[in-house]
Amino acid sequence: MFDKRLKLRHLQCFLEVARLGKIVLAADVLAVSQPALSKTIQDLETLLDVKLFKRNKRGMELSRYGEIFHRRASSSISELQQGLDHLRRARQEGDPFLSIGVLPTVAAQLMPDAVNRFKQSGHNTNLHLFAGPNTVLLERLRLGELDLVVGRMADPSIMHGLSFQHVYSEYVSVVVRPQHPLLPAITATASGDRQGVSNISLQGIEKYVVLIPTRESIIRPTVDRLLMTHGINELPQTIETVADAFGRNYVQQTDAVWIISNGVIAIDVAQGKLEEIPLDVKETLGPVGLTTRADKVMSADLELFMDSVKQVAGDLAKSQS
């Protein structure tokens, strides 16, 4: 999970000290006092719980941990600068655009059709779509860097200052590759519809590698409850991931079991690339919708895009009923 105590100034100070090797030189470039810069570096090391620099007579050298952090911090600042430059150019050119945060649950099934509907309605507005962890996307939404986040509703504890519009509900699915060893025993007792599968159990998945969402993901508590409902308190072999491309390909190539939001894999199941274990998962239903800043005055383009999402969601609901 992204630590909110980590600030941009931490990264700027760290990178400048790493580049110049001396506090005095970096402080001059950053136009801050040496004590203030030293404290910022110390605060960062305390926050990360590692020593980033080795102090010696020559100045400051990166430690092994510092070198690892430097690669990530440098690329993050570079990406941020590119994003700022892109926004600046767009504004100078007078290009209207919307910045949309997209969670995995809607990226594969809902968003392509919603974007297509919006574009076909004749709008010239450019769309910038950003994927990422929910906490990061919501923080960017609060800062005004995003206009909208589309996906499952977050925990109420992190929704302060935000407004959520429920569009539809979605359950969690358990999927495997076709001809998976688990399927014969399951299909022998399943009736084929969700109302007749209350007797189906997940017992036996402990023999396989199980892909589950990371602890920071919205649906992880739901997945944990589902496992506990089936008497599974511990899985010997797990891979925690929210990387859909990895999950999709790994499960198709192995005997792994994947527990994930239905929207992520619905198309794969429909195309026969994955098979869904027919469980009673009504308890995993959760709201999916549109999150905006509560104080935001919506532009006409944003309202029209949100309408496109709602219309496509309505069509999906009808096709699945």
pLDDT digits (tens, 9 = 90+) for 206-253: 999 999 999 888 899 999 999 998 889 889 999 999 889 999 999 999
Q: Name the band, by pLDDT with cuts 50, 70 and 90, for residue 191.
A: very low
pLDDT digits (tens, 9 = 90+) for 193-203: 444 444 567 87
The CATH code for residues 96-169+286-320 is 3.40.190.10
Q: According to the 3-state scheme, what is the secondary structure of 7-66?
A: CHHHHHHHHHHHHHCCHHHHHHHHCCCHHHHHHHHHHHHHHHCCCCEEEECCEEEECHHH
Q: Report the distance separating Cα 287 and Cα 13, nearest Å.
A: 41
**What mean pLDDT do residues 58-72 have?**
91
CATH of 172-284 given 3.40.190.10, 3.20.20.220, 1.20.1640.10, 3.30.70.20: 3.40.190.10
| pLDDT at position 315 | 85
CB neighbourhood size of 85 (10 A): 10
Q: Are 245 and 225 in contact (CB under 8 A)?
A: no
Q: Are 216 and 104 in contact (CB under 8 A)?
A: no
In the chain, where the domains are located: 8-87, 96-169+286-320, 172-284
pLDDT over 50 at 122, yes or no: yes
| pLDDT at position 192 | 45
pLDDT over 80 at 124, yes or no: no
User: How far, in Å, are 169, 227, 292, 309 from residue 313 at the CA level?
Assistant: 10, 28, 18, 6
Residue that wins the pLDDT comparison between 151 and 86: 151
Second CATH level (architecture) for the domain 8-87? Orthogonal Bundle (1.10)
- Letter string b/e over residues 106-134, b meaning 16 or more CB atoms within 10 A of that residue's CB: bbbbbbebbbebbeeeebebebbeeebbb
Query: Which range, of 74-83, 118-127, 191-200, 251-260, averages the lowest pLDDT?
Result: 191-200
Domains 96-169+286-320 and 172-284 in one fold = yes
**What mean pLDDT do residues 137-141 have?**
89
pLDDT over 60 at 190, yes or no: no
Which residues are registered as beta bridge partners of 128? 99
Q: Are 133 and 1 in contact (CB under 8 A)?
A: yes
First to last CA, the chain: 36
Residue that wins the pLDDT comparison between 300 and 269: 269
Mean pLDDT score across all residues of the chain: 86
pLDDT digits (tens, 9 = 90+) for 105-117: 888 889 999 999 9
| pLDDT at position 194 | 43
**What mean pLDDT do residues 84-113 have?**
77
pLDDT over 70 at 188, yes or no: no
> What single string gives the DSSP state of each residue in 152-197?
EPPPGGG-TTEEEEEEEEE-EEEEE-TT-THHHHHHTT--SSGGG-
**What mean pLDDT do residues 61-90 have?**
81
Percent of the chain whose pLDDT exceeds 90: 51
Q: What is the pTM of this model?
A: 0.65
